[in-house]
Amino acid sequence: MALVNEHFLKLPNNYLFADIAKRVNRFKTTHKGVDVISLGIGDVTQPLCPAVVMAMHKAADEMGDAHCFRGYGPEHGYDFLREAILKNDFLPRGIHLDINEVFINDGAKSDTGNIQELIRWDNSIGVTDPIYPVYLDSNAMIGRAGVKDEQGRWSNVEYIPCNAENGFVPSLPKHRVDVVYLCYPNNPTGTVITKAELRKWVNYALKNDTLIFYDAAYEAYIQDDSIPHSIYEIKGARKCAIEFHSYSKTAGFTGVRCGYTIVPKDLTAATISGERIPLNPLWNRRQCTKFNGTSYISQRAAEAIYTPQGKEQVKATINYYMQNAAKMLQTFKELGMEVYGGENAPYIWARTPKGIESWKFFEELLHGAHVVCTPGVGFGPNGEGYVRFTAFGSHERTEEALERIKQWMK
């Protein structure tokens, strides 16, 4: 009898954003002709920049020409892109990485989901809460998260609350954990971590032999020069951290699919008998077996982001979105809402008025203002009582949404 992986059955039926999409569609079906504006899912709306489009045309032509056609690329990605990453994303910050520490992927979701394959099924997990659902769902699928209780808490997970009460600064775990997921600038709260706070985590990890999975997918949105863009800005992080990057939000690649993961050569985990095993070759083995590299066209598109024109154009789009964030912050504050984030990240985290439940607020906002937000509880128990708004809309639609919210809240 072929037996199913029963860990899947412990998962909530729907992935958060699929659930939201379903509710919005239901609303649209029952309210024909009503114009709904989404500030919900963190998806970009502005077109790819000209430098990227030009690079894709060039790559397409190459692939149609017998003299420069390319078949399988390296599983870890092409050196042209890995070199551009080292030179632009790390060297200017004084971070020296080896090219073989860079693994090009098809977006950070795949790698943040797959990375847990490298560790034993019974390692303990810590997460800041609220958090991007992929981290826990991917651990749950292999049984590492345990079982989910009625409040939506996994039994084998240490939740580290990040909320208004602690100023969104996560405390070090009360119980020692083998692995911890950090995401900064944070999805969903839009808050950031200072170098001093991040240093505490690196020191904790080194002292406790804890692995840090650091998701830096939103680093391009940092405006404040004192905020770290990479965990490797902290001494010792090469020995305890894997870092995930994505071009999805940096350059509007949500439909193009490209990002990268850094697995330092100094990073090890232990066997049960205490032998230290480097994780870099293990991740390489994983990728060579279950991945066949990222589309050549997508890799050339990513390379173009690092040209002088590409840099300027990508920056302009980020500024465009951050103008939305500024307007949203201003409007929400004027409305007397309690809001966080939005200064170094494209997300605004708002406390629901009178502490109503986040799904309830989601429905009220949808029916009352025809605007979609993301219920905070979808990101974990400590997200209850909050909702997330994204700054990824067009100026026109964002302003229209704000106007509607103003009218509705009056």
DSSP string, 240-302: TEEEEEEHHHHSS-TTT--EEEE--TT-EEE-TT--EEEHHHHHHHHHHHH-----HHHHHHH
Among 34, 60, 99, 169, binds a second copy (CB under 8 A): 60
Minimum gap (Å) between residue 42 Cβ and a second copy: 9
Question: According to the binding rule CB under 8 A, does residue 9 interact with a second copy?
Answer: yes
Minimum gap (Å) between residue 153 Cβ and a second copy: 18
**108/329 with CB nearer a second copy:** 108
Tell me if residue 2 falls in helix, strand or coil.
coil
Question: According to the binding rule CB under 8 A, does residue 353 interact with a second copy?
Answer: no
Among 10, 28, 36, 73, binds a second copy (CB under 8 A): 73
- Which residues in 383-402 contact a second copy (CB under 8 A)? 394
What are the angstrom distances between the C-alpha of 142 and each of 62, 118, 136? 41, 12, 10
Question: According to the binding rule CB under 8 A, does residue 335 interact with a second copy?
Answer: no
* Residue 126 contacts residue 181 (beta carbons within 8 Å): yes
Among 31, 70, 235, 333, binds a second copy (CB under 8 A): 70
Of 26, 115, 138, 37, nearest to 394 by C-alpha is: 37
Question: According to the binding rule CB under 8 A, does residue 356 interact with a second copy?
Answer: no
**170/293 with CB nearer a second copy:** 293
Of 243, 286, 290, 292, nearest to 117 by C-alpha is: 286
The interface region with a second copy, picked from 1-9, 327-335, 347-355, 365-373 by CB under 8 A, is 1-9
State the Cα–Cα distance between residues 18 and 11, nearest whole angstrom: 14
Minimum gap (Å) between residue 91 Cβ and a second copy: 28
- Which residues in 13-42 contact a second copy (CB under 8 A)? 13, 15, 18, 41
The interface region with a second copy, picked from 67-75, 155-163, 316-324, 326-334 by CB under 8 A, is 67-75
Question: According to the binding rule CB under 8 A, does residue 69 interact with a second copy?
Answer: yes
Among 24, 37, 56, 222, binds a second copy (CB under 8 A): 56
Cα-Cα-Cα-Cα dihedral sign, residues 185, 191, 195, 200: negative
Among 29, 30, 226, 271, binds a second copy (CB under 8 A): 271
Question: According to the binding rule CB under 8 A, does residue 294 interact with a second copy?
Answer: yes
Minimum gap (Å) between residue 69 Cβ and a second copy: 4
Of 325, 237, 287, nearest to 103 by C-alpha is: 287
Question: According to the binding rule CB under 8 A, does residue 410 interact with a second copy?
Answer: no
State the Cα–Cα distance between residues 131 and 379, nearest whole angstrom: 5
Question: According to the binding rule CB under 8 A, does residue 113 interact with a second copy?
Answer: yes
Minimum gap (Å) between residue 360 Cβ and a second copy: 25
DSSP string, 159-174: EEE-SGGGTT-PPPPS
State the Cα–Cα distance between residues 346 and 188, nearest whole angstrom: 9
* Residue 379 contacts residue 189 (beta carbons within 8 Å): no
Among 88, 114, 194, 307, binds a second copy (CB under 8 A): 114
- Which residues in 227-256 contact a second copy (CB under 8 A)? 248, 252, 254-256
* Residue 304 contacts residue 256 (beta carbons within 8 Å): no
Of 285, 268, 286, nearest to 277 by C-alpha is: 268
* Residue 284 contacts residue 103 (beta carbons within 8 Å): yes
* Residue 242 contacts residue 214 (beta carbons within 8 Å): yes
Among 296, 359, 379, 386, binds a second copy (CB under 8 A): 296
Minimum gap (Å) between residue 292 Cβ and a second copy: 4
Q: Token digits for 331?
A: 């409007």
Question: According to the binding rule CB under 8 A, does residue 82 interact with a second copy?
Answer: no
Among 109, 238, 370, 388, binds a second copy (CB under 8 A): 109
Number of residues this chain uses to bind a second copy (CB under 8 A): 87
Angle between helices 50-63 and 296-304 (to 10 degrees): 150
∠ Cα 186 187 190 (to 5°) = 55
Question: According to the binding rule CB under 8 A, does residue 120 interact with a second copy?
Answer: yes
